[in-house]
Each structure stands twice: as C-alpha cells, then as structure tokens.
Amino acid sequence: MALRDDRWRLYVYKPALPEAEMQKQLVADFRHRVFGGSAGNLVAALLVGGLSAADLDEIRRLLDAHGL
C-alpha cells in the first residue's frame, strides 16, 4: 500500500507502512493462505526446500535471541 501526492501531476509514492510491518503482514497472510495458518508447516517447507548452513545458523541465532 502506498500514499500518493498528485499536486503537480507527478505521482510520488511513499510507503504507507514501515518495511518490517509490511513483511510481517505479508508473511502472516502467506502462512494463512498457503499453510492453513500453520507455522510448523511453513518451517517444514523451508527445511525441505533446502536451507544453507548460513541460513540455519541465522535461524538458530534468532531463536536463541528470543529465548527459544
């Protein structure tokens, strides 16, 4: 979603939401539409799709940072 300023017949688009909030909404929508709301199925699909060791390290770091 974007906001539009058309005062000068130029269209200047600006984000309506911060990037992190938009990502959060898109991932939640994707999880619900594609995986029936199941975070576990989403993660399983990522694992089957093949994650690199660096990807797994980053995921582990994020889980640790959240005490999980």
Per the model's pLDDT, the better-predicted residue between 3 and 15 turns out to be 15
Q: Is the dihedral of CA 46, 52, 55, 57 positive or negative?
A: positive
11-61 confidence digits (pLDDT tens): 778 899 999 999 999 999 999 999 999 999 999 998 887 889 999 999 999
pTM summary value: 0.65
Which tokens in the block code for residue 35? 């995986």
Which residue range forms the structural domain that includes residue 52? 38-68
Residue 30 and residue 6 in one domain: yes
Question: Which residues make beta-bridge pairs with 35?
Answer: none
Supply the pLDDT for residue 1.
66
Residue at token pair 């309506």? 16
Which tokens in the block code for residue 27? 């991932």
Q: How many domains is the chain built from?
A: 2
Q: How far apart are CA 48 and CA 53, in angstroms?
A: 14
Residue 3 and residue 33 in one domain: yes
Closest CA to 32 of 45, 23, 41: 41
